[in-house]
Each structure stands twice: as C-alpha cells, then as structure tokens.
Chain A
Amino acid sequence: MPMVPKRLKPYAMIAPALAVFSLFYLYPIGYMIHLSFHEWNFISPEKTYVGLGNYREMLADDVFLQVLRNSALYTVMTVLLATGTALPLALWLNRKSGFHAFVQGAIFSPHIISLVSVSLLWSWLMDPEYGLLNGLLHPLGIGPLKWLNDPDTALLSLVIVAVWKNLGYNTIVFIAGLQSIPPELLEAAALDRSKPWTTFRRIILPMLSPTLFFLVIINLIGSFQVFETIAIMTQGGPVNSTNTLVYYIYEYGFRYFKIGHASAAGVILLVIVGTLTLVYFRLLSRRVHYR
C-alpha cells in the first residue's frame, strides 16, 4: 500500500462518501439554486438569466400562496393528529399480551405498504358512490360525503390517509420511548402516592419529550414533502385545494417545463425543511435530554 501522509489519511477515508454526497446532493442543490435564477424549458440549449424574476413571479402568484397555505395546513393537521393519537394509543398498547401485540402489528402494517398502493386503496374507500367509508357512514345518518371531490374536504381526506399511514410508526416509536423509562421511576412514583395523571404529566411526559420531539420533527419534514398521495388521488385538485409544494414543483417542472420557476419553488422548500432540521438539531442538543 502506498504511503499516505498521516495528515491526509482522514480525508482519504471520507473521500468516497464525500464524492457520492457531492455528486448526488450538493451538486443538484447548487444547480437548482443556479436554475432558479434562469428561465429554461428543459430542452432548449440556452438558459436565459432572469435574476429574481422567477421568485417575483411566484410570490405574486395566488396559486403559489394557496399552495403554501395548503402545505402548512396539511402539515399542522397531520402532525397534530398523527402524534396526538399515537401517544394515547402507545400508552394503551404498552403491555405484554397477545392481543396488544396483534394490535401493534396491525396498526404498524400501513407503514410498510407502498404509498402508491395506499393511495389507490383509499381512493376506493373514499369513492363518493361506491366507497366503503360512505357505506359505513350511511347507516349512521351521515353523508354521503364527497371526500376528495369537494374542495372543503379534499385536504382533510388526504390528512386522514397520512395519519392512517404514519400512526403505526409513531406509536411504535412512542412505545419504544415508554419502554426506555426505567420501571423503578414509576415504582418510586407509586410509593410517592402519585396519581396516574400526575405520574403521566410529571414523569412519563418529560421522560418522553425527546421521543415526542423527534416524532414531531420527522412528521413535520415528511408532511411538507407529501407528493404520492396527491399525485395519485387528487392531482392537486379540486381547484388547487390539495395542491402542495412538492406537487407544485412537479407540475411546473415536468408538466409545464418551466424549470426556473420550479427550481425557485424548490429553493423555498429547501429553506423551510432546512430551517426545521436546524431547529431540530439546535433544540436536541439543548433541551429535552435527561440522561
């Protein structure tokens, strides 16, 4: 083996990983930022420099503002529901019995199903005329609901699908968090005459805060990037009521071939997700850590 100077050795070691990372992450991000200042249609050999033109055009676009609103609304609802339901579910499922193990497995199974299948499945379930959901709601005197076909309920319908898909994963992570709480702590609390609610609020919840925080951030980032369900179930409609950032980027890039415009929207997404990630690492190193 040829001698590599000791000082260079670490760099040589990470070079392969760094090369792949640069080629597939850094370069595309840089190129995207570059493209966002140009007008280009994917095919023409020349790109026209337009400065901040794409950004100006985008921010003046009512549809883009609605897209941002939709993304935010979708994200907030998904995160609240998917983590908010997973916690009580985890508290209930955190015990050893065949039944609880079965329920755990059952609610986790959506996580391993492809999103495309999930989307198709829920499109059928939510079909206004033949769907199972309306069939079940009808005897209760509810409906018929139009689900994905009504601008007022379409986004919420997608939220339901996302919650259904993510709930199992969140629950399992919560259960793992619960199981990492030393049992003596709960015993000590029992000897301290702590009531169940007090134990939950003063001991379980604080001990669970790193888990809770992790899930909120992961769900936030994931929700901001929602694409498959929208592409398959609604194509952003009706009347843009389910059009979100990634779908918007896709439409501009690969349907209208306005690469510059799509790249500008991509930069906005990068800023949002980047900020969330930064917040996550900042807070993780500071608060919510006890051991």
Chain B
Amino acid sequence: MARIDLIDVVKQFKGETVISKLNLTIREGSFTVLVGPSGCGKTTTLRMIAGLERQTSGDILIDGACVNDVEPGKRDVAMVFQNYALYPNMTVRENIEFGLKNRGVPRHERERLVRDICEIVDLTPYLDKKPQSLSGGQRQRVALARAMVKKPKVFILDEPLSNLDAKLRVQMRTELIELHRRLGTTFVYVTHDQTEAMSMGDRIVVMRRGEIMQAAAPMELYDDPDNLFTAQFIGTPPMNVFPMNLLPNLGTEGEGRAEYVGFRPEHARLLPGSADPPSDGLAIAGSIITRESLGAEHVYQLRTTAGTFFVKQFLRPYAGGDFATAVVPHDRLYFFDGEGRRLRNLRAASRPEPAAAGVR
C-alpha cells in the first residue's frame, strides 16, 4: 500500500507541453482511475509514476519518498501493459518468475509464490505453455500474475481491458475490482472508457489536454461536475447542453452569468406534445427522431430548433406521438460560464416571456 503524490509535474515532448503543472494525490489503497480522451496525458502520467518516462520538472513521491531518480525496477511498482507485454520466448511460469529471479528470490520460495498466484488467477494448467498459445483473457491473467507476484506497493494498469472482447471485458472488470479488494494495494488505472472508469474506480481523475478537469468519487463526478467537459464526458448518453441564448424562457437568479445550461437525459420527463408542461421546470418541445429501447431503459433523441438532445426514460416507454415535450425540473439544471466552468450559485427561474418557435 502506498500513497502517490505528483507535485507540479510538467512533461514536455520536443518542446510541446503534454502535461502542465499537474498536482495529484493518489490515496493509499485506492482504486484511482485516470480517464480522458486520447492524447489527454493519462498514459504519460502513468508512465511517469512507473519511472518509464521522466518528468520535465516537478516531483513524484511514493509513500512520501521522492522517486525522481529511482529507476523503474526499484520503485516497487508493477505494471500491466495494454498489450500485456509478455515475454514471448518464455513460458507462463518463466514470465511470472522473471521478476522474482532478478530479485534473487530462492527457488523453493519462487515456486511457492508462482503456485499461489496461479491458483488465484486460474492459470495452473497453463504454466508450461508459451503466451502465443493462450487466449486474450489468459494472457491478461498472466500479465496480472506477473505483476501481482512481486507484491508491489503500487499496481499500475494501462488500458488492460481494451484488447478483450466485450463479454470478457465486463467479466475482467469484476475480477479486477475483486482483486483490488483482496490485495488492498493502491491501483492506478488508465482508460479512455468512462463506463469502465465509473464502474471500477473509487476515485476518478478526469483529464483533458494534460490538465486535471476534476478528481472525485464516481457519483460526485456524475452529480456535481466541476465543468462542462466532465459533465459531458461522464455518462451515456452524455449530458445535454444548450447555449442559454437559445432558451429565452429560462432565466437565472444568483451570482454569475450562465452561458450554457445542461441536464442529464434521465432527469428529463417526456410528455405528449399537447399536454401542458408544469411551471417549475424547463420545457423543451421537439420531435422524436430516434427511439432506442434497451429493455429497462429507453433512449429518445429529440430535434428542436435549439439542437438535438437525448432523453432517457426508465421501465415504461413513452407512449405518445412523435411530437413531445421534455420537462426538466429546475433543480436538475446545471449552469456553466463561457469557459465551461460550473456556476454552482445560480438557480433557474422561469421567465414569462413569449416562447420562441419550438421552444416553450
């Protein structure tokens, strides 16, 4: 178990800044997920923690000790690579043992450790096989076993599930969560998939263009996003966002001037086009252009003069016609300024002005 601190970390590649002044604390024993679109610097951050990449400036601390000049092997960090990076010329056993041998762990001790680990990840029948004869899921387990057997202070995983098929991915997700609980080691996990981040992490760091947009627990991130980027990155379908000037009957009271307003698709309720909308909510009328039924939930895409947006309904599908009004309670609206920053001190207020065409 270890806590990791990144202090004012900057990384430049050939004069281009990839990470700018990153400050992040990864709590000990946490399952921290770095998530963001490709090129946001999440993998670079991970590689700097592992020591595979050196930061241009700033400090990296593991358990309070500065590891800037500590080589990767001595940081007590184990890594699972996206393509597993198993040694193709070695058997499963040799792959797992390699790190132990290099540490001078005696033979019988090694054998015991390999046996124990392989019990956990179900690899015992494959110990003498080469990686090329294993399936993707099995290779993944070897990579995990190779990392686990070293009993590291920090476990680093770089998109480890992206090469697996959908079903296996969901299964491995659960297994990784289970593994984290059992080991209690600090996990740092990188993914571009927000669903993966939400389902696995107990703390999520949303990154964009080398900066941290928000670091919080999954539900906090979802319910209380700091900015437009986080709001739209987390959740499927993403948060609907409209420029304020396209919704003339929506007013605000409180500090700040909102440029954008957003709401989650599941917070909107669909009413048939002719029904009178309640007055304590934002009402947007439009025509339904797609209907997607997933059994327990139903996703509708609506087109209005202000743009298209999504509405998610649970259990009972919307029964009305193609023309509908989406109603969002005022306390479910999120306001953002021109820079995309969240304006937490603003409240919605209806304005009794005449409605624009298609928007009431």
Q: Which residues of A line the B interface, CB within 8 A?
A: 182, 184-185, 187-195, 198, 202-203, 206-207, 290-291
CB distance from A189 to the nearest CB of B (A): 8
CB distance from B303 to the nearest CB of A (A): 46
Q: Which residues of A contact B301 (CB under 8 A)?
A: none
CB distance from A20 to the nearest CB of B (A): 39
Verify A291–B132 contact, CB threshold 8 A.
yes
- Tell whether B98 is near chain A: CB-to-CB under 8 Å: yes
CB distance from A179 to the nearest CB of B (A): 16
Q: Which residues of B contact A195 (CB under 8 A)?
A: 102
Verify B73–A191 contact, CB threshold 8 A.
yes
Q: Which residues of B contact A206 (CB under 8 A)?
A: 89
Q: Which residues of B contact A188 (CB under 8 A)?
A: 79, 81, 85-87, 146
- Since A187-B81, A290-B88, A291-B88 are in contact, a sample of 7 more A-B pairs with Cβ atoms closer than 8 Å, ordered by chain A residue number, is A184-B83, A187-B85, A192-B146, A192-B150, A193-B103, A195-B102, A198-B102
Chain B 54-75 near chain A by CB (<8 Å), digits 1 or 0? 0000000000000000011110
- Tell whether B99 is near chain A: CB-to-CB under 8 Å: yes
Verify A290–B83 contact, CB threshold 8 A.
no
- Tell whether B50 is near chain A: CB-to-CB under 8 Å: yes
Could you give 25 example pairs across A and B, Cβ below 8 Å? A182-B85, A184-B82, A185-B87, A187-B72, A187-B79, A187-B81, A187-B85, A188-B79, A189-B98, A190-B51, A190-B72, A191-B50, A191-B79, A192-B98, A192-B99, A192-B102, A192-B150, A193-B99, A194-B73, A194-B98, A202-B87, A202-B90, A206-B89, A290-B88, A290-B130
- Tell whether B289 is near chain A: CB-to-CB under 8 Å: no
- Tell whether B52 is near chain A: CB-to-CB under 8 Å: yes
Chain B 117-143 near chain A by CB (<8 Å), digits 1 or 0? 000000000000010100000000000
Q: Which residue of A lies closest to B74 (CB)?
A: A193
Which residue in A184, A193, A198 is a CB contact (below 8 Å) of B85?
A: A184
Verify A194–B89 contact, CB threshold 8 A.
no
Chain B 79-110 near chain A by CB (<8 Å), digits 1 or 0? 10111011111100000001100110000000
Q: Which residue of A lies closest to B47 (CB)?
A: A187
Cα distance, A182 to B51, chains bound together (Å): 18
Which residue in A184, A190, A203 is a CB contact (below 8 Å) of B73?
A: A190
Verify B87–A203 contact, CB threshold 8 A.
yes
A-B pairs, 5 with minimum CB distance:
A193-B73, A184-B85, A192-B99, A206-B89, A290-B88
By secondary structure, the B interface counts as: loop
Q: Which residues of A contact B83 (CB under 8 A)?
A: 182, 184
Q: Which residues of B contact A193 (CB under 8 A)?
A: 73-74, 99, 102-103
CB distance from B96 to the nearest CB of A (A): 10
Which residue in B71, B85, B102, B130 is a CB contact (below 8 Å) of A185?
A: B85
Verify B72–A207 contact, CB threshold 8 A.
no
Q: Which residues of A contact B71 (CB under 8 A)?
A: 190
By secondary structure, the A interface counts as: helix
Q: Which residue of B lies closest to A203 (CB)?
A: B87
- Tell whether B282 is near chain A: CB-to-CB under 8 Å: no
Q: Which residue of A lies closest to B97 (CB)?
A: A192
Q: Which residues of B contact A191 (CB under 8 A)?
A: 50, 52, 72-73, 77-79, 99
Cα distance, A290 to B86, chains bound together (Å): 12
Verify B85–A290 contact, CB threshold 8 A.
no
Cα distance, A185 to B81, chains bound together (Å): 9
Verify A187–B52 contact, CB threshold 8 A.
yes
Counting chain B CB atoms within 10 Å of each CB, the highest count among A184, A192, A202, A290 belongs to: A192
Verify B132–A290 contact, CB threshold 8 A.
yes
Cα distance, A188 to B88, chains bound together (Å): 12
Q: Which residues of A contact B87 (CB under 8 A)?
A: 185, 188-189, 202-203
Q: Which residues of A contact B52 (CB under 8 A)?
A: 187, 190-191
Q: Which residues of A contact B150 (CB under 8 A)?
A: 192
Verify B102–A207 contact, CB threshold 8 A.
no
Q: Which residues of B contact A203 (CB under 8 A)?
A: 87, 89
Q: Which residues of B contact A192 (CB under 8 A)?
A: 73, 98-99, 102, 146, 150
Cα distance, A152 to B262, chains bound together (Å): 90
Cα distance, A192 to B78, chains bound together (Å): 8
Counting chain B CB atoms within 10 Å of each CB, the highest count among A184, A191, A198 belongs to: A191
Cα distance, A121 to B87, chains bound together (Å): 46
CB distance from B84 to the nearest CB of A (A): 8
Q: Which of B314-338 contact A (CB under 8 A)?
A: none
Q: Which residues of A contact B90 (CB under 8 A)?
A: 202
Cα distance, A182 to B83, chains bound together (Å): 10
Q: Which residues of A contact B103 (CB under 8 A)?
A: 193
Cα distance, A43 to B249, chains bound together (Å): 109
Q: Which residues of A contact B130 (CB under 8 A)?
A: 290
Verify A207–B73 contact, CB threshold 8 A.
no
Cα distance, A290 to B130, chains bound together (Å): 9
Cα distance, A231 to B254, chains bound together (Å): 97
Q: Which residue of B lies closest to A186 (CB)?
A: B85
Q: Which residues of A contact B82 (CB under 8 A)?
A: 184
Counting chain A CB atoms within 10 Å of each CB, the highest count among B78, B79, B85, B90 belongs to: B85
Q: Which residues of A contact B78 (CB under 8 A)?
A: 191
CB distance from A16 to the nearest CB of B (A): 39
Q: Which residue of A lies closest to B82 (CB)?
A: A184
Q: Which residues of A contact B74 (CB under 8 A)?
A: 193
Q: Which residue of B lies closest to A192 (CB)?
A: B99
Q: Which residues of A contact B50 (CB under 8 A)?
A: 187, 191
Q: Which residue of A lies closest to B71 (CB)?
A: A190
Q: Which residue of A lies closest to B75 (CB)?
A: A191
Cα distance, A189 to B90, chains bound together (Å): 13
Cα distance, A31 to B80, chains bound together (Å): 62
CB distance from A184 to the nearest CB of B (A): 4
Verify B89–A207 contact, CB threshold 8 A.
yes
CB distance from B144 to the nearest CB of A (A): 13
Cα distance, A203 to B74, chains bound together (Å): 20
Q: Which residues of B contact A202 (CB under 8 A)?
A: 87, 89-90, 98
